[in-house]
């Protein structure tokens, strides 16, 4: 018997003799299991005993893990992108072009909810990953609970205010004439179901549950694709059917999310009622870390508005059509860059929280290389395939020529386009909102808007040149922020 170990329990099951000078403490029946305190395991012990799916983020090969997380995220984003296209087709074919215009008019209201969910989702995911990596599942539960709290409170406020102010809101959005009735029907239903607008797949991904995170996107989208033709064509509900189909899919996503976070036991934590109480430090970090995501989405919208304004001032409809096509094509082909950035987040957050900073930095280096190489490959592909792609989206020869020219010039910036977003996400995952915010705000106000404003005055060709020029300058600025922040890592 090794010195210092307790004496073994005799085969009879009787406890070992009590050393002289000590008093035996009675133990209630059924509570005398060795190593288990009276009254059963403590809550923290029960939490630690649950299966930690995120543990593999600290042990597996970094390259293979990054490939897996990026592939799952890209698949999720691409699935939703396909749904957006099919939904537009169902609405236009089943309810008419006017209904499609009405749906598009209401979209800015829904973008408010999307911006909030992205903001708190990014902040919450960073907190959850770092908390789990640091071995603190209760802090992770509180971060997730406060994430739900902020979004649900915002969703309820949007529902109440939106329904009360629906008429002036529709006027502000430009809904007039025949589109107003369709916009009212669509907006009323979507506002009523605002609380279902997200399933927080980022929080699921933060603990390494990539399969369930993907299901949170795919199953609701499949549900919507099945419901849309049934409600729009089968029941003849038109634009109301499109709204109900969307809410049906979102409702499924919400149900899956509630089961995952509040019911399922095979996880490192579950959200309890106490975790839904507002916690000042947690809320401040959620919003601080997530703010760059909000500004990034807002900035992209502002850039599109400015570009459209400049192109409209030229009076060239072919240029406007060319830009619209380039935006759609660019959004689709650059989805893997979004997938790489989002897939990188749980790896960096978990390993940084666990003190494995070398693995976190290795992840960032590999992700940066991958996004640049992928952007370069897409650039070369579009340079070669611009003409057939333009022909697929434009009927007139003038529009085809303008689209192909714009596509080739804008594509020159794709090798650099994913760098600012990726490095902003890197700092978010590390829990460092200031560098992340500097990259997001600097890219928007210091580069993209000034470059578009200046070069846009010289005509359409220079406006196209502004996009790759801004992408290059933004990437250089983001790398400068990374270099300046390097001494503070760890």
- pLDDT band of residue 72 (cuts 50, 70, 90) is confident
- pLDDT band of residue 24 (cuts 50, 70, 90) is very low
Question: What is the pTM (predicted TM-score) of this model?
Answer: 0.68
Cα separation, 371 vs 425, in Å, equals: 13
Q: Is residue 7 part of a domain?
A: no
pLDDT of residue 255: 92
pLDDT at 12 over 80: no
Percentage of residues in the chain having pLDDT higher than 90: 20
Please say which residue of 278, 305, 335 terminates a domain.
278
Q: Is residue 22 part of a domain?
A: no
Q: Is residue 309 part of a domain?
A: yes
Least confident of 79-83, 180-184, 368-372: 79-83
Co-location of 180 and 139 in the same domain: yes
Backbone angles phi, psi at 356, to 5 degrees: -90, 70
User: Sign of the CA dihedral 186, 191, 194, 197?
Assistant: positive
pLDDT of residue 54: 61
pLDDT of residue 4: 40
pLDDT at 474 over 70: yes
Please say which residue of 223, 251, 278 terminates a domain.
278
Co-location of 335 and 238 in the same domain: no
Q: Are 269 and 138 in contact (CB under 8 A)?
A: yes
CB count, 10 Å around CB of 41? 14
Co-location of 213 and 272 in the same domain: yes
- 33 contacts: CB under 8 Å, gap ≥ 6: none
Q: Are 268 and 137 in contact (CB under 8 A)?
A: yes
Co-location of 258 and 375 in the same domain: no
Q: Are 225 and 86 in contact (CB under 8 A)?
A: yes
Co-location of 115 and 221 in the same domain: yes
Q: Is residue 44 part of a domain?
A: no
Please say which residue of 246, 278, 310 terminates a domain.
278
Tokens of 237: 């509900």
Q: Is residue 28 part of a domain?
A: no
- pLDDT band of residue 37 (cuts 50, 70, 90) is very low
DSSP state, residue 11: T
Q: Are 428 and 346 in contact (CB under 8 A)?
A: no
Co-location of 95 and 115 in the same domain: yes
Q: Is 483 left (phi over 0), alpha (psi -120 to 50) or beta?
A: alpha
Percentage of residues in the chain having pLDDT higher than 70: 85
Domain that holds residue 85: 58-278
pLDDT at 480 over 90: yes
Mean pLDDT of the chain: 80
Mean pLDDT (whole number) for 169-180:
76
Q: How many domains does the chain have?
A: 2
Half-sphere exposure of residue 125, counting CA atoms within 13 Å on the CB side?
31
pLDDT at 48 over 80: no
Least confident of 42-51, 103-112, 161-170, 408-417: 42-51
Co-location of 365 and 258 in the same domain: no
Co-location of 325 and 396 in the same domain: yes
Co-location of 331 and 458 in the same domain: yes
Mean pLDDT (whole number) for 283-308:
80
Least confident of 146-150, 244-248, 387-391, 392-396: 392-396
Nearest to 424 by CA among 177, 119, 206, 178: 119
Q: Is residue 382 part of a domain?
A: yes
pLDDT at 225 over 80: yes
Co-location of 72 and 220 in the same domain: yes
Q: Is residue 23 part of a domain?
A: no
pLDDT at 27 over 70: no
Least confident of 148-152, 331-335, 452-456: 331-335
Cα separation, 490 vs 478, in Å, equals: 19
pLDDT greater at residue 449 or residue 172: 449
Co-location of 256 and 315 in the same domain: no
Nearest to 410 by CA among 480, 460, 337, 478: 460
Co-location of 138 and 226 in the same domain: yes
Q: Which long-range contacts (CB under 8 A, 24 or more apart) does 258-262 make?
A: 260/204, 260/209, 260/212, 261/144, 261/148, 261/200, 261/203
pLDDT of residue 50: 52
pLDDT of residue 160: 92
Q: Is residue 2 part of a domain?
A: no
């Amino acid at each position: 018997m090794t010195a210092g170990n307790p004496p073994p329990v005799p085969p009879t099951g009787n406890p070992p003799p009590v050393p002289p000078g000590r008093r035996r403490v009675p133990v209630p029946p059924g509570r005398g299991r060795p190593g288990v305190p009276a009254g059963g395991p403590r809550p923290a012990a029960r939490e630690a005993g649950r299966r930690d799916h995120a543990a593999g983020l600290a042990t597996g090969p970094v390259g293979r893990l990054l490939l897996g997380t990026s592939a799952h995220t890209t698949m999720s984003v691409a699935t939703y992108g396909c749904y957006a296209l099919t939904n537009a087709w169902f609405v236009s074919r089943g309810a008419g072009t006017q209904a499609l215009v009405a749906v598009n008019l209401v979209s800015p209201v829904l973008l408010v909810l999307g911006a909030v969910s992205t903001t708190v989702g990014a902040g919450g995911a960073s907190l959850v990953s770092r908390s789990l990596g640091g071995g603190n599942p209760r802090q992770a539960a509180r971060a997730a609970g406060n994430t739900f709290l902020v979004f649900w409170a915002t969703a309820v406020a949007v529902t109440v205010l939106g329904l009360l102010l629906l008429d002036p809101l529709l006027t502000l959005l430009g809904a007039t004439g025949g589109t107003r009735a369709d916009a009212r029907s669509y907006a009323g239903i979507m506002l009523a179901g605002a609380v279902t607008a997200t399933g927080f797949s980022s929080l699921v991904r933060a603990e390494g549950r990539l399969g369930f995170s993907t299901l949170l996107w795919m199953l609701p989208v499949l549900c919507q694709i099945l419901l849309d033709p049934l409600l729009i064509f089968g029941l003849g509900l038109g634009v109301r059917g499109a709204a109900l189909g969307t809410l049906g899919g979102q409702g499924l996503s919400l149900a899956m999310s509630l089961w995952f976070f509040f019911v399922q036991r095979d996880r490192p934590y579950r959200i309890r009622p106490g975790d839904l109480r507002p916690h000042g430090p947690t809320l401040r970090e959620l919003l601080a870390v997530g703010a760059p995501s909000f500004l990034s989405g807002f900035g992209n919208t502002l850039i599109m508005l400015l570009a459209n304004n400049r192109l409209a001032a030229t009076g060239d409809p072919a240029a406007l059509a060319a830009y619209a096509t380039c935006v759609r094509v660019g959004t689709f082909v650059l989805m893997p860059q979004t997938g790489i950035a989002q897939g990188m987040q749980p790896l960096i957050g978990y390993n940084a929280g666990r003190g494995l900073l070398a693995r976190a930095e290795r992840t960032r280096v590999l992700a940066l290389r991958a996004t640049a190489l992928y952007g370069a490959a897409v650039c070369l592909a579009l340079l070669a395939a611009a003409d057939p792609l333009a022909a697929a989206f434009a009927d007139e020869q003038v529009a085809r020529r303008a689209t192909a020219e714009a596509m080739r010039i804008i594509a020159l910036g794709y090798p650099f386009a994913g760098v600012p977003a990726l490095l902003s996400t890197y700092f978010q995952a590390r829990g460092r909102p200031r560098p992340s915010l500097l990259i997001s705000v600097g890219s928007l106000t210091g580069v993209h808007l000034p470059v578009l404003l200046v070069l846009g005055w010289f005509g359409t060709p220079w406006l196209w040149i502004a996009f790759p020029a801004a992408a290059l300058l933004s990437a250089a600025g983001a790398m400068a922020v990374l270099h300046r922040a390097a001494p503070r890592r760890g």
